[in-house]
Chains A and B, each alone.
Chain A
C-alpha cells in the first residue's frame, strides 16, 4: 500500500514520537473514523467477498463464512452468463486506442498552444477549454447519427471514434508545457530539432509526471465509459465490460453472488491502478482540479 507511510521527511515520525502526538479526544476521533470506514468499506468488502462463496452464504453466515466454503463457481457462472471474455478484449482495445490517441492529439495540440506564436492562439485555447463544460450526454444523438451513417455501429472503432481527442488531457498537458522554461524549447529548436522532434524528444520527457497523469485519466475514462458504448453497440460480444455488467445485473437478478463475481473481475484492473498509483493520482488531481 503506497500511502501506508507518508514518505516526505518532514512527516515521517518515529513510533515514540507518534505516541506523543496522540491527544485527549483521539479515542473519539478513532471511533468516528472506524465507523466511517466500516460504512464506506462495506461495499468494497461485499464486492470482493460475496462472489467467493455460494449464493447467499456470505450474508447468512454474518459476513464471515467458514473458509472451506470458498469457491470460484460464481466467476465461472458470470463468464457463462454474459460473454465477459470477449467484452474484456473489447474494453482492452478501447482503452489502448483511446489512451494512445488522446495522448498524441493532446500532446500535439498542447505544443501548438504553448510554444509557437501565432494569430488566434488564445481563441483556439478558449475553444478547447470550452469543451470541458459540455456534457457528453448532450452529444450522443448527433454523434449516433454520424457514426451510424459511416457504418461504424457495433464496432470497436465506433466506440472510440468520438473520443480520439478530448479536452481534459489537452488542458493538463498545456498547463504542464506552459510551466517549462521557454529556453528549453528554444534551445532544442536552435539545435536543429523540428517541432515534432522537439515535442517528443525534449518537451514530453520533461513533463513525464503530467503525461502519466493524463494517460491514467484517459485509460480510466476509457475503461469506465458506459452511455456511449451502450448506445453504439448491439451484439453482446461487441459490448464493453461496463455494458456487460448491466446485462449481468438483468440476467442474474436473483443470484447476487454471480453479479458480485462479475463486478469484481471488471474492477480488478482499476482497483490495482488506484492502489499502485495513489500518490501520483493525488498530485495529479491537485494540479488539475483547481484552476
Chain B
C-alpha cells in the first residue's frame, strides 16, 4: 500500500472517528430545554385560562387568541410597540449614520467624537432608563430645570401620552445609537478607498458622495441595523418599566410590558393570555428575520 492512499484513509478516519459530534451535546441539551421546550409550552399555554389561584388549568381553546385580535386594548398595545420601535430605530440609525458620514474624513477632535458617539453602547436598557428618568422626571428632571433656567417651560415628558412615547423612544434610540455607530464605522471602513477617490475626481463630494456611493455600499449593515433595532424595539420592556410603568392611563403599555403585567403583575397570574403575546412575538420576529435573510442573501447570490 503506497503512502498516499494510506494517508488518505487515515485522513478519512480522522474526519469520521472520535467523539467530535458528541461535543454538541451540552449546547444541544441546554437549547432544547431552555429555548425549544418553552416555545412549544408557550403555544400550549396560550390555549389555557387561569383558575382562581392563577394556575393555567382551564382549557379555553382559541378564546385567548380571539380576545387578543379583537379587543381594542391589545390593538393599542400593538400599535404603541410598533410606534416606539420604528421611532427609536429611525432616530438611532439616523443619528449614527449622520455621525459616521460626517466623521469619515479627518476633523479636529475626531477621536474624541468617536468615543462619545460609541459610549452609549456601554449602557444597558436599565441604566439608560435610569439616566433618562433623571433627565425627564416630573418637577425634578434635569432637562426641564435647565430649560427653566433660560425661561422656557419644558414639556411634561413622562406625563402626557405623546411625550411619554417620545421619551421612551428617545431613551431607546440614545443607547442603541452606540451599537449602530460601531457597526456603521466598521462598514464605512470597508468601502474601497479607490471608489471614493474616483467619485471625488468626478466631482462628487459631501451629500452626493454619501448618497450615491457610501450609503449603497453600506447597505447590508444598514439593513441589518434596520431589522435588528426594529425587532428589539418591538420587545421594549425595561424603558417602560422604569420610566412610565405603562402610564399615563396605559398609553405607553407595550406588548412585553403587557405580557409582564398579565403573568407577573399585581392581579391573578394569567399565563394563558400572556403566552398569546409571547407566541405572537415569536411569529412576528421570525417573519421579519426571514424577510431580512432573503433580502441580504439574494444580493450575495
Q: Which residues of A contact B (CB under 8 A)?
A: 1, 3-5, 10, 13, 18, 21-22, 25-26, 29-30, 32-33, 36-37, 40-41, 43-44, 46-47, 50, 56, 58-60, 62-63, 104-106, 108-109, 111-113, 115-118, 121, 124, 127-128, 131-146, 161-165, 167, 170, 186, 189-190, 194-196, 199, 223-224, 226-227, 230-231, 242-243, 245-246, 248-249, 253-256, 259-260, 262-263, 266-267, 270-271, 273-275, 278, 281-283, 285-286, 289-291
Contact = CB atoms under 8 A, between A and B. Distances in A.
B126 A56 contact: no
A274 B118 contact: yes
7 contacts: A1-B115, A36-B102, A111-B23, A115-B20, A133-B289, A245-B130, A281-B118
Contacts of B145: 56, 59-60
A46 B135 contact: yes
Contacts of B161: none
Given A40-B120, A139-B42, A278-B118, A134 B285 contact: yes
B125 A143 contact: no
Nearest to B7: A190
B174 interface: yes
Main secondary structure of the interface of B (DSSP, over half): helix
Q: Give the size range of B's interface with the partner.
A: 35 or more
Nearest to B116: A41
A245 B127 contact: yes
A40 B37 contact: no
B111 interface: yes
A141 B187 contact: no
Contacts, number: 315
Interface string B237-262: 11001100000000000001001100
B294 interface: no
A258 to B, nearest CB: 9
Interface of B: 10-11, 14-16, 18-24, 26-28, 30-31, 33-39, 41-42, 45, 95, 98-99, 102-103, 105-108, 111-135, 137, 140-142, 145-146, 149, 174, 177-179, 182-183, 185-187, 189-190, 193, 206, 220-221, 224, 231, 234-235, 237-238, 241-242, 256, 259-260, 263-264, 271, 274-275, 278-279, 281-282, 285-286, 289-290, 296
